[in-house]
Amino acid sequence: MTVTRRRFLQGSAAAAGALGVIPGLRYVSQASEGRSSSPEVKYVNSSCAICTNKCVFRGQVVDGVIRRLEPEPDFPRARGMMCARGNAGAWTPYDPNRLKHPLIRTGKRGEGKWRKASWEEAYKHIADKINTAVEAEGGNRSTIGFISSEGTYQEHYYQGFRTVFGSPNILRHPTICLSSNIRGFMSVFGTYPNADIINSDYIILAGADRAESIFTPDTIDMFGKKGKTIICIDPRFTKTAAKSTKWFPINPGTDMAFALAMIHVILKENLQDQDFIDEYCTGFAELKEHVKDSTPAWAEQETGIPASEIERIAREFAKAKAPVFYPGRRSGWQKSEVHTRRSIAMVNAIVGNWDKEGGLVPNSSISIRRRPMRPVRYANAQPRLEADDVEFLNDGDGSWIPWRDRALKADPYRIRGLMIYKQNVVDSVPDRNKTFELFDKMDIIVCVDTFMSDTAWYADVVLPETNYLERQDPPFPLSGIEPSVIFRQPLIERMYDTKPGHDIFSELAAYFEDENGRSLGNHFRGTIEDHMNTEVSARELEQLKTKGFYTTGEGPVIGRTRRGELGINTPTGKVELYSEDFAGRGLDPLPVYKRPEKPGSGKFRFLVGRHAIHTHSMTAAFPELNWHMPENAIWINTKRANELGVKSGDMVKVTNRTGGSDTIKAQATEAIHPDCVYFAQGYGSLSKDKPLVYGRGAAQSAVLESHFEPISGNALMHETIVEIRKV
């Protein structure tokens, strides 16, 4: 091997080169300089960390340098493909802007002045600040807020740390993603199901951009199969719309009217699956009465979708062999979100679409022998800050928006510190001005990331986690219709002074004590290898090491409810078309439509949504993806743009009702509903260590107002009304 580590590091740290090729390839060219004539080639299977899908790949490593990541053909979710983002991940270890060692802030927050620190120094600094904060609050450990998105370490080590530390204040990703969807489907079916989209012959996608958001082989197969009808309902002409049979640019926030009218037609024409309803459902009579007046003509007024089309879709859907009204994923849009999802669940229920091929299928997962950490009980333990603000608050997930509001008012107690792991809260939580107000009240902000995100940029201590291609992660059960267990193993040696999550949290724990003076480090037993050896069998571990995953070998798990192996996990044990539980809580027991607010003259509803080559805020600065899309632009309907005197390429200022604003290039287009505007996430960064997106384009969180849905606690991303002004 002729590439020494030092030489490689020198190469990768060089500034933008003159090679004129895709930037990521440039790093690898630099890394591979002076390659030997008989290179050492090896393949390592591992799993992608660039989005939640965790596709398993086969990584090709030549002379210790990653050359490419190929999809693992046997892995059910990836089969023959890896998306653009997954491919671009190959170069992240070599990105000169990655985090390389612990940093402690020396200047003001956000000034970007740091000193390099050893891990011991960083841990000690964190522990001193946190212990002082807890003391200042009379021993109340709830004063530290824990924040994380999903990921392989999040589940046990990070949560484990929080559990033994003793704060109930955890905020996880569902609160800014899909908790309203989960709650809506749970209230009807008792679980949040998957959709067997490959085998369904009639699919309604309302607010689900599969072709960009879950661009996997089954999505391709879904579009590719003959004889299939796909109805796309979206205020934007997305890639999914382009691939669908029909697209309807619905008035935003009116999906429930569409769903209720579908139910109306199906019941009026007696197209329902009465046998399924009689055997599995409760509340049918109430639902039938409820939708009596939800006619297609009424729904046309609300949704903008012609009545004749609604009627036709309802009929075709009910008569199809395997229809599915896709549940969607991200769901925090409008105020009535939980009820909207319930109405969508009910459209499925009345045609008997439950636990069958081509339909909705309850989640399956493979269990592993994980030993959860037992919580330590502290005398001053306090309930979650926002415990009273949300009807169905999930204690393990929390609710970001009311939590932040309470923290700002120190109501009922003060939050003094934030431990943030793998969530870029400055960009991912609406209304970043408010997030900064929260930061201003903190004695200590710790951020564990792999890059200098906007959140890390404003933190006091930044801890660099080891890149996913250099790291060993524990086995992770991936649930779905065809469940599997995946894991990550290093393709290359660790290049910098970084640590994997397991080490970070188990080592940090040793700097804290419980009330009896016992080290919290005692709760973390064993190395990551010890965990792996106990969590799965030797044979399974061997499979993980060679293939990067294992399954039960039984293929899709469909039909357990119908075979009597699985109950319906609602309070009544039935599919609930009417919810006594909701009624008892003073909530509407049936989905009641409420017309969303119209933006008003000269104003727009601001929408967010996925982009095929980006993951949230994370990838916009990946050189090879940024090369395709150097900045974002705001979609404005052509007619509305003309009214404003705005042309494509003009700069506009977008301002919300609370003064939040950002400036961005305009893109006049027919591809968006006249009431709405949209731009992609990840740009307009504040972190100077993300130079490709620093100050380039606009940030969604600068423009999003804070709203939440009080049944599930989901932050609402489509309740923002903005004004556009040419600058």
Ligand X SMILES: Nc1nc2c(c(=O)[nH]1)N[C@H]1C(S)=C(S)[C@@H](COP(=O)(O)OP(=O)(O)OC[C@H]3O[C@@H](n4cnc5c(=O)[nH]c(N)nc54)[C@H](O)[C@@H]3O)O[C@H]1N2
54 binds ligand SF4 (CB under 6 A): yes
Residue type, 264: H
Restricted to residues 533-592, the positions that interact with ligand SF4 (CB under 6 A) are none
What order do you get walking across the sheet with 56-62 strand by strand? 41-47, 56-62, 65-71
277 binds Mo ion (CB under 5 A): no
Give the nearest distance from C-beta 83 to ligand X in angstroms: 7
User: Half-sphere exposure of residue 121, counting CA atoms within 13 Å on the CB side?
Assistant: 11
618 binds Mo ion (CB under 5 A): no
Nearer to ligand X, 283 or 417 (CB): 417
Report the SS3 class of residue 110. Answer: coil
Nearer to Mo ion, 347 or 715 (CB): 715
Say which entry of ligand SF4, ligand X, Mo ion, none residue 209 contacts (CB below 5 to 8 A, set by partner kind).
Answer: ligand X
DSSP label of 597: P
Nearer to ligand SF4, 46 or 272 (CB): 46
Give the nearest distance from C-beta 330 to Mo ion in angstroms: 5
Say which entry of ligand X, Mo ion, ligand SF4, none residue 267 contacts (CB below 5 to 8 A, set by partner kind).
Answer: none
- Number of residue whose CB is nearest ligand SF4: 86
Q: Please pick, from the candidates 3, 46, 65, 85, the single residue that binds ligand SF4 as defined by CB under 6 A.
A: 85
Lookup result for tokens 């044990």: 573
625 binds ligand SF4 (CB under 6 A): no
Give 374's contacts (C-beta < 8 A, 6+ positions apart): 163, 164, 523
Site size toward ligand SF4, by CB under 6 A: 11
Report the SS3 class of residue 124. Answer: helix
Q: Helix 179-189 vs helix 337-350: angle between axes, to the nearest 10 degrees? A: 40
Give the nearest distance from C-beta 492 to ligand X in angstroms: 15
Contacts to ligand X by CB under 6 A: 49, 51-52, 149, 173, 176-178, 206-210, 212-214, 233-236, 238, 250, 252-253, 255, 328-330, 333, 421-424, 427-428, 448-451, 453, 465, 468, 607-610, 612, 614-618, 681, 700-701, 704, 717-718
Say which entry of ligand SF4, ligand X, Mo ion, none residue 607 contacts (CB below 5 to 8 A, set by partner kind).
Answer: ligand X
Task: In whole angstroms, give the CA distance from residue 56 to residue 501.
Answer: 20
Task: In whole angstroms, give the CA distance from residue 158 to residue 164.
Answer: 10
Task: In whole angstroms, give the CA distance from residue 172 to residue 423.
Answer: 9
Give the nearest distance from C-beta 34 to ligand X in angstroms: 30
Contacts 24+ apart (CB under 8 A), 307-315: 309/246, 309/248, 310/258, 310/261, 310/262, 310/265, 311/265, 313/204, 313/231, 313/262, 314/261, 314/262, 314/264, 314/265, 314/266, 314/269, 314/271, 315/265, 315/266, 315/269, 315/271
Nearer to ligand X, 255 or 405 (CB): 255
481 binds Mo ion (CB under 5 A): no
Task: In whole angstroms, give the CA distance from residue 718 to residue 337.
Answer: 10
Give 481's contacts (C-beta < 8 A, 6+ positions apart): 194, 196, 361, 364, 556, 557, 558
Say which entry of ligand X, ligand SF4, Mo ion, none residue 468 contacts (CB below 5 to 8 A, set by partner kind).
Answer: ligand X
Restricted to residues 177-196, the positions that interact with Mo ion (CB under 5 A) are 177
Residue type, 147: I
User: Which of 135, 61, 237 has the alpha carbon at shortest distance from 638?
Assistant: 237
Q: Please pick, from the candidates 28, 66, 82, 676, the single residue that binds ligand SF4 as defined by CB under 6 A.
A: 82
CB 507 within 8 A of CB 158: no
Which segments of 612-699 does DSSP mark as H helices, in order?
623-628, 638-644
Say which entry of Mo ion, ligand X, ligand SF4, none residue 448 contacts (CB below 5 to 8 A, set by partner kind).
Answer: ligand X
Task: In whole angstroms, give the CA distance from residue 580 to residue 571.
Answer: 9
> For the stretch 258-277, what's the b/e string if a residue is b when 16 or more beta carbons lie within 10 angstroms of its beta carbon?
bbbbbbbbbbeeebbbeebb
CB 117 within 8 A of CB 124: no
Q: Please pick, from the candidates 3, 28, 51, 305, the single residue that binds ligand SF4 as defined by CB under 6 A.
A: 51
702 binds Mo ion (CB under 5 A): no
User: Which region, judged by CB under 6 A, interacts with ligand SF4, from 12-20, 51-59, 300-308, 492-500?
Assistant: 51-59
Say which entry of ligand X, Mo ion, ligand SF4, none residue 82 contacts (CB below 5 to 8 A, set by partner kind).
Answer: ligand SF4
Say which entry of Mo ion, ligand X, ligand SF4, none residue 605 contacts (CB below 5 to 8 A, set by partner kind).
Answer: none
**Residue 586: Cβ within 10 Å count:** 7
Nearer to ligand X, 134 or 438 (CB): 438
Say which entry of ligand X, ligand SF4, Mo ion, none residue 234 contacts (CB below 5 to 8 A, set by partner kind).
Answer: ligand X
Residue type, 460: D
Q: Please pick, from the candidates 31, 83, 117, 265, the single residue that binds ligand SF4 as defined by CB under 6 A.
A: 83
Say which entry of ligand X, ligand SF4, Mo ion, none residue 424 contacts (CB below 5 to 8 A, set by partner kind).
Answer: ligand X
48 binds ligand SF4 (CB under 6 A): yes
Residues that bind Mo ion (CB under 5 A): 177, 330
Residues that bind ligand SF4 (CB under 6 A): 48, 50-51, 53-55, 82-83, 85-86, 216
